[in-house]
Amino acid sequence: MVSMKWKSVIRSFGFLGLLVFLPSAFTAEGEAFTESVVIFNTICAKCHEAQCSGRLSFDESFEKSTSHVLRHYGQASGKQWLQKELFDILNYMKGKCAYYPTQTLIPLKRVWNRAIFDKFTTLMERNYFIPVGYFAPGHYRIELELERDAKVITHLISGEFEMALEDCFLSTDRRMNIPVRIEEPGDYYFRMYPKTPVRILRFSILPNESKVQQDLKTPM
């Protein structure tokens, strides 16, 4: 039997047949809200990715860690639920040396629209952290359409915290086309920091066929 919870999910995503679930080690225990995961992975993770050992955990208790959380993300002030979730996500990253897993729908053609990825942004800053699924090594292109022209810092980062892309770009006619080379297979994440808050209207990661054809023509 399909539970009422899953019936609700299926009704909410009438296009479910066009989507697949991103495989992950997600479990129900300690589930953090997606909002907290996005906040952590755009505000906090930049430091803790470099510090991760896969063995360490955050030694301080939640009560003692509050000052650490507020020092780096003052908007959590007065929001104990958010402070606790950020603390739990930090502990997960320290212990597992991985991003906190979320259940995410990945479009089969890897073309996202606002209905899917609006939940993967912080409301004030419009920072984005979007799980984009598994990629094999190869040449790809990231296509972005913004609500207006803007300068943005973009990352394409692996589940092992290795950067496939880390650069700043300025859109033209609200669009940008970014070539990227993936050298290691695995799950990847797209992260974006706009200089001024701006929404993504459309986002895709597609094989860069022109680059592949160019490589095939390169003489040995």
pLDDT > 90? residue 116: no
Interval 119-177: pLDDT, tens? 899 888 899 999 999 999 999 999 999 999 999 999 999 998 999 999 999 999 999 99
Note down the domain range covering 163. Answer: 109-217
117 and 159 in a single domain? The answer is: yes
Sheet-wide strand order for 128-135: 128-135, 186-194, 151-158, 163-170
Q: Are both 119 and 198 inside the same structural domain?
A: yes
- Among 70, 96, 122, the domain boundary falls at 96
> Which one-letter amino acid corresponds to residue 162?
E
Is there a domain that residue 104 lies in? no
Write down which residue in 72, 96, 120 finishes a domain: 96
128 shares its domain with 209: yes
| Rounded Cα distance, 72 and 22, in Å | 30
| Cα 204 to Cα 41: distance, rounded to the nearest angstrom | 20
Q: 181: closest CA among 166, 160, 164? A: 164
Q: Is residue 59 part of a domain?
A: yes
Q: For the chain, how many structural domains are there in total?
A: 2
Confidence of residue 64 (pLDDT cuts 50, 70, 90): low
Residue 159, domain member (yes or no): yes
Domain ends where: 42, 63, 96? 96
Does residue 156 contact residue 190 with C-beta atoms inside 8 Å? Answer: yes
Per-residue pLDDT of 69-87, as tens digits, reads 666 666 666 777 877 888 8
Q: What are the tens digits of pLDDT across the range 23-54?
A: 333 333 334 478 888 888 888 766 656 556 54
pLDDT digits (tens, 9 = 90+) for 4-29: 443 443 333 333 333 333 433 333 33
Task: Give a yes or no: residue 3 inside a domain.
Answer: no
199 and 119 Cβ atoms separated by less than 8 Å: no
CATH number at residue 167: 2.60.120.380
* 201 burial via Cβ count (<10 Å: 0-12, 13-18, 19+): middle
Number of Cβ within a 10 Å radius of residue 190: 23
Q: Give this prediction's pTM.
A: 0.75
